């Protein structure tokens, strides 16, 4: 096995920390003392009183939450209630909701009285694997390779190809997990970190069906224990990172190694999404934006009664604030529709648009593709513009090299302030060698779609003709990771469906 230089340096610093810690404690790590800049947060109140239990915030705005009365609610960007109904194909009703977790860019895992459900595009769906796992979800995380991990009182699971795979070590389940976060392993491999019986571990997928659980370590002092953790995702030219909250301080591991971050007061709660980290300390709410490496602190916010519910990749957090349920953000950030954080784009054109949150209308809105301005106009704010009849046109990425890029949408307000939403994505243009339904798509349909799309609960899609007639709808549904509804699909299969459709949807 070859040793990556990064591994070598982090091993060295760990040894060093262990040796030095007994002598002079916390001095052994590089120390950051950020000076957060005060900001007046934008607040959007929820029209429904929410329960103080974890929820799911959707990066295109809104989310799925438990209401104070124990029901399941879908909120829109402006805090109003959106449609969310039990799918007619469900044989069981959810009952009182315990908590909600993120499963994918647009899908939420709902833990309720009657077990596990998925909330997806306005439907509550009973996934086929729900019988294998009762209530007891501790957390979910999605690693950079797209794998979805589920920590449960009965063990650690990976949701792959519509089935749950339990991770076992020496034949036993990984019970006793108390915290989990997606972040690269020490060698940079996409991984998920978890805290089990007080020790840190990292699980790394070594192929689509195999994984490895490695002991991992952090430069802790004697008597220092990890209490919670959070992971930031990658962007362009950066990798993901891990943040640990211990009983003494805040630690951060980037690809350059470990650092400690001193914010004045010791934090009490962490919450991360995309490139943003929210930190609650005794009396302050702080926001770290990893893309620009700046800290902000919310001013004029009474955080005495405070609880995080969910955060999304645009830098917005849903919180409980003195009896009210509110979406807080640094500025009224526009949301991007048609492109999500870390999305793999294989087509050369995509319909992408911006949605402006409620409140004062911005004076101007424009896009940036890798830093180059692209003008747009309201009310639809389409990156590719619109046809005369109002239909949004696709924006062509054909001029971009393969690899990571960013689309940003900037809203500029009359008072000179700006709000930006930056979406990193991975462009992997297709070579459109034609594929056939019978040889290339049918096996995917049978493995991942047929159980719901033959008669019920989904529309029938069980023939070539139905796939061809629904090709555009299917491509969008798998690309946006709305389908399959029972868990994520291997990115290669998503690409294969897109290639099949783009090369003529042949039989």
Residues that bind ligand HEC (CB under 6 A): 87, 89, 121, 123, 125, 127, 448-449, 451-453, 457-459, 470, 473-474, 477-478, 482-486, 489
Q: Quick one: 125 or 185, whose CB is closer to ligand HEC?
A: 125
Q: Quick one: 378 or 460, whose CB is closer to ligand HEC?
A: 460
Q: How far is the CB of 487 from ligand HEC (least distance, A)?
A: 8
44 CB-contact burial (10 Å; exposed 0-12 / middle 13-18 / buried 19+):
buried
Q: How far is the CB of 390 from ligand HEC (least distance, A)?
A: 21
Q: How far is the CB of 365 from ligand HEC (least distance, A)?
A: 27
Q: Is residue 390 within 8 Å of residue 200, measured between CB atoms?
A: no
Q: How far is the CB of 243 from ligand HEC (least distance, A)?
A: 34
Give the contacts of 136 (CB within 8 A, at least 6 positions apart).
111, 152, 153, 154
Six token digits for residue 299: 């001013």
- Is the bond preceding residue 484 a cis peptide, omega within 30 degrees? yes
Task: Please work out, in degrees rounded to the nearest 5, the angle formed at the alpha carbon of residue 405 by the alpha carbons of 400 and 411.
Answer: 110
Q: Quick one: 61 or 127, whose CB is closer to ligand HEC?
A: 127
Q: How far is the CB of 64 from ligand HEC (least distance, A)?
A: 16
Six token digits for residue 149: 């991990």
Residue with tokens 């699980």: 203
Q: Quick one: 4 or 482, whose CB is closer to ligand HEC?
A: 482
Q: How far is the CB of 177 from ligand HEC (least distance, A)?
A: 26
Q: How far is the CB of 436 from ligand HEC (least distance, A)?
A: 16
The Cα 118–Cα 384 span in angstroms is: 33
Q: Quick one: 92 or 225, whose CB is closer to ligand HEC?
A: 92
Q: Is residue 229 within 8 Å of residue 241, measured between CB atoms?
A: no
Q: Quick one: 332 or 458, whose CB is closer to ligand HEC?
A: 458
Give the contacts of 429 (CB within 8 A, at least 6 positions apart).
346, 348, 397, 398, 402
Six token digits for residue 395: 């924006």
Q: Quick one: 333 or 441, whose CB is closer to ligand HEC?
A: 441
């Amino acid at each position: 096995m070859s040793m990556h230089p990064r591994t070598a340096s982090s091993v060295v610093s760990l040894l060093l920390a262990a040796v030095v810690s007994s002598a002079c404690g916390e001095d052994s790590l590089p120390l950051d003392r950020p000076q957060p800049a005060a900001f007046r947060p934008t607040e959007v109140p929820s029209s429904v009183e929410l329960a103080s239990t974890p929820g799911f915030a959707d990066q295109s705005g809104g989310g799925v939450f438990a209401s104070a009365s124990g029901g399941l609610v879908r909120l829109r960007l402006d805090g109003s209630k959106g449609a969310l109904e039990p799918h007619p194909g469900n044989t069981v009703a959810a009952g009182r909701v315990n908590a909600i977790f993120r499963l994918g860019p647009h899908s939420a895992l709902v833990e309720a009285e009657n077990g596990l459900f998925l909330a997806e595009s306005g439907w509550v769906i009973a996934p086929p694997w729900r019988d294998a796992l009762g209530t007891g979800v501790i957390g979910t995380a999605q690693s950079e390779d797209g794998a979805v991990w589920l920590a449960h009182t009965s063990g650690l699971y990976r949701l792959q190809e519509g089935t749950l795979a339990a991770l076992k070590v020496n034949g036993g389940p990984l019970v006793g997990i108390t915290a989990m976060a997606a972040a690269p392993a020490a060698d940079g491999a996409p991984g998920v970190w978890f805290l089990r019986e007080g020790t840190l571990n990292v699980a790394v997928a070594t192929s689509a069906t195999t994984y490895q659980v490695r002991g991992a370590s952090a430069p802790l002092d004697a008597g220092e224990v990890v209490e919670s953790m959070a992971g930031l995702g990658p962007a362009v030219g950066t990798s993901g990172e891990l943040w640990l909250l211990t009983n003494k301080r805040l630690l951060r591991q980037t690809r350059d190694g470990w650092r400690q971050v001193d914010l004045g007061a010791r934090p009490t709660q962490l919450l991360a999404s995309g490139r943003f980290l929210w930190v609650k300390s005794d009396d302050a709410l702080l926001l770290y934006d990893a893309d620009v490496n700046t800290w902000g602190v919310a001013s004029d916010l009474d955080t005495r009664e405070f609880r995080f519910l969910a955060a999304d990749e645009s830098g917005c957090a849903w919180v409980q604030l003195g009896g009210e349920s509110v979406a807080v953000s640094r500025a009224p950030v526009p949301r991007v529709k048609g492109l999500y954080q870390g999305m793999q784009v294989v087509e050369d054109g995509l319909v992408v648009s911006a949605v402006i949150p409620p409140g004062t209308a911005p004076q101007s809105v424009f896009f940036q593709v890798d830093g180059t301005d692209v003008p747009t106009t309201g009310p639809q704010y389409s990156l590719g513009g619109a046809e005369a009849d109002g239909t949004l046109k696709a924006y062509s990425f054909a001029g971009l090299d393969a690899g990571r890029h960013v689309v940003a949408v900037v809203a500029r307000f009359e008072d000179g302030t700006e709000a930006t939403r930056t979406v990193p994505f991975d462009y992997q243009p297709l070579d459109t060698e034609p594929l056939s339904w019978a040889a290339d798509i049918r096996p995917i349909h049978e493995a991942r779609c047929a159980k719901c799309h033959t008669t019920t609960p989904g529309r029938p899609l069980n023939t070539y003709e139905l796939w061809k007639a629904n090709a555009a709808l299917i491509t969008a549904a798998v690309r946006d990771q709305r389908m399959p509804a029972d868990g994520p699909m291997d990115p290669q299969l998503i690409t294969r469906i897109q290639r099949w459709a783009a090369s003529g949807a042949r039989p």
